[in-house]
Chains A and B, each alone.
Chain A
Amino acid sequence: MKNEVKVGNGAEAVESEALEIRPAVDVREYSEGVVLEFEVPGASSKSVEVEVKDQVLTVRAASSLRRNGRKVLFTRAFQLSDAVDIEKIEAETKDGVLTIRLPKSEIARVHRIKVN
């Protein structure tokens, strides 16, 4: 079953000679889900595309920065497990940091059970 969710206005058209760079990321897990923070300086919410297809999360962010005369395109992909509630993924961009929240699906959450 293919799940396809797109968040963001989509990456601006980038010439074929764009330089693809893998952005640094911090990933933290909480009880309700996982938060990823990508460093994408020069990218705004208009130039960021977040897609989930076949359980693979792909991030593409076109930057205003150039390296050796070529436009920079930040791109990175992560494999997601079934534990993610794909429909509730959220993404926001601020000051060149793209934050993506991956909520855990209900069955994946840890339920602590008290023993009487």
Chain B
Amino acid sequence: MNILARRNGMDWDAVPKFEEVMRRFFNLAGADGDFDFAPSRLEVKVNEKDVSVKMAAAGCRPEDFEIEVVGDFVTIRAKREEKVEEREDARSIIREREYGEFEESTKLPVMVVGSQAKATYTDGVLEVTIPRETAKKITSHVVKVR
């Protein structure tokens, strides 16, 4: 006896997304995944004194990340290993989560001090905070033409 029931004999989800219904109705092509939060999406926020770079990476450990800041370029590498199933009575019904290694890079819109970057991993979100470079004093010099 199945614990999860399929709707209409086909779908697992009890409530389909509206977009999914429309896509099927119009038979639209394109494999636009329903899971918007692929593990390797970066979210950059520029604050007054620092820049925050967030990556959604649920189910990882802090040691699974490698972060590199070169100038204004940030690279984050992460890996997520699937738990090895030891039980013989296990049967996979749905498998949507992604495993393995992934990497994401981005150029920051402002200059930062990479050597002072800090990173935290909370509730499946890696956040890298990098202080901004302080603005150098701009000097102006008027040149007279003789």
A interface residues, Cβ below 8 angstroms from B: 21-31, 33-34, 37, 39-44, 55-58, 64-67, 72, 76-84, 93, 95-97, 102, 104, 108
Contact = CB atoms under 8 A, between A and B. Distances in A.
B124 to A, nearest CB: 2
B28 to A, nearest CB: 17
A26 B2 CA distance: 16
Contact of B4 (A40, A58, A66, A80): A80
Nearest to B124: A96
Interface of B: 1-7, 12-15, 17, 34-37, 39, 43, 54, 56-61, 85, 87, 89-98, 121, 123-125
A17 to B, nearest CB: 16
Which 3 pairs, one residue from A and one from B, show the smallest C-beta to C-beta distance? A96-B124, A96-B58, A41-B124
Given A24-B96, A66-B43, A29 B14 contact: no
26 contacts: A24-B97, A26-B95, A27-B12, A27-B92, A27-B95, A28-B90, A33-B3, A39-B37, A39-B39, A41-B56, A42-B125, A55-B5, A56-B14, A57-B14, A65-B54, A65-B56, A65-B125, A67-B43, A77-B13, A77-B15, A78-B14, A80-B3, A82-B1, A83-B1, A96-B56, A96-B58
A42 B124 contact: yes
A97 B124 contact: yes
B6 to A, nearest CB: 7
Contacts of B7: 79
A56 B5 CA distance: 10
B21 to A, nearest CB: 13
Given A64-B123, A65-B43, A97 B3 contact: no
B89 A30 contact: yes
Most interface-central of B4, B5, B34 (chain A CB within 10 A) = B4
Contact of A41 (B5, B37, B85): B37
Contacts of A58: 14
A41 to B, nearest CB: 4
Contacts of B12: 27, 78
Most interface-central of A29, A72, A93, A104 (chain B CB within 10 A) = A29
Contact of A34 (B3, B15, B35, B97): B3
A96 B3 contact: no
Contact of A78 (B13, B39, B61, B85): B13
Given A24-B98, A28-B91, A39-B124, 19 more contacts: A24-B97, A25-B97, A26-B92, A29-B93, A34-B3, A34-B93, A39-B58, A41-B58, A41-B124, A42-B124, A64-B125, A78-B12, A78-B14, A79-B7, A80-B3, A81-B5, A95-B123, A96-B56, A97-B124
